[in-house]
């Protein structure tokens, strides 16, 4: 799974789950010819990214190359079960990345359009956000 080696702050604020606006940074394909783009807001966990990576590598075998364009660096905390109120914030449980509409999540090159489209369709089922298959305009 993808985890940060070192973080400046162990516990972050939660932030607003329903954010405004579109993504401004990772909105275009930079490395590959095909990609998976997010259409809705949400948190993508490191477990989801690992599941998608496994689906894509198994689908393309040795035929293509895959890039992960997002990294889970936001810690999410959780308190233990049946813990009484108070006692401060819980310990970091897992890491997520905040995804806005328009963010390119994965890129792929070295495979045919049909196989890339099928692989990205299978990968899209693993996410908690709506996704769409995109391709580079030639």
Number of domains the chain is built from: 1
Q: Which domain range does residue 107 map to?
A: 34-77+92-135
Q: Is residue 64 part of a domain?
A: yes
Answer whether residue 11 is part of any domain: no
Q: Is residue 17 part of a domain?
A: no
Domain-embedded: residue 55: yes
Q: Are 64 and 29 in contact (CB under 8 A)?
A: no
User: What is the reported pLDDT for 93?
Assistant: 94
Say whether 133 sits in a helix, a strand or coil: strand
Look at residue 94 in the predicted model and tell me its pLDDT. 95
Q: Does any domain span residue 125?
A: yes
Evaluate whether residue 46 is within a structural domain: yes
DSSP 101: T
- pLDDT tens string for the chain (138 positions)? 888 898 899 999 988 877 788 988 889 999 999 999 999 999 999 999 999 999 999 988 888 899 999 999 999 999 999 999 898 999 999 999 999 999 999 999 999 999 999 999 999 999 999 999 999 987
Residue 131 covered by a domain: yes
In a domain, 86, yes or no: no
Question: Residue 126 belongs to a domain with what CATH number?
Answer: 3.90.1170.10
Place of tokens 């819980």: 90
Contact (CB, 8 A) for 78 and 45:
no
Report which of 51, 44, 53 is spatially closest to residue 98, judged by C-alpha positions. 44
């Amino acid at each position: 799974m993808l985890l940060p080696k070192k973080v400046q702050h162990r516990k972050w604020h939660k932030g607003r789950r329903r954010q405004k606006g579109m993504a401004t940074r990772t909105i275009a394909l930079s490395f590959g010819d095909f990609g998976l783009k997010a259409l809705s807001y949400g948190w993508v966990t490191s477990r989801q990214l690992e599941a998608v990576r496994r689906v894509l590598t198994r689908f393309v075998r040795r035929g293509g190359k895959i890039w992960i364009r997002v990294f889970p660096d936001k810690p999410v905390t959780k308190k233990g079960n049946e813990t009484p109120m108070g006692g401060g914030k819980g310990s970091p449980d897992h890491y997520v990345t905040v995804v806005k509409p328009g963010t390119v999540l994965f890129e792929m090159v070295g495979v045919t359009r049909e196989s890339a489209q099928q692989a990205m369709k299978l990968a899209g089922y693993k996410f908690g956000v709506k996704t769409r298959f995109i391709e580079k305009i030639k």
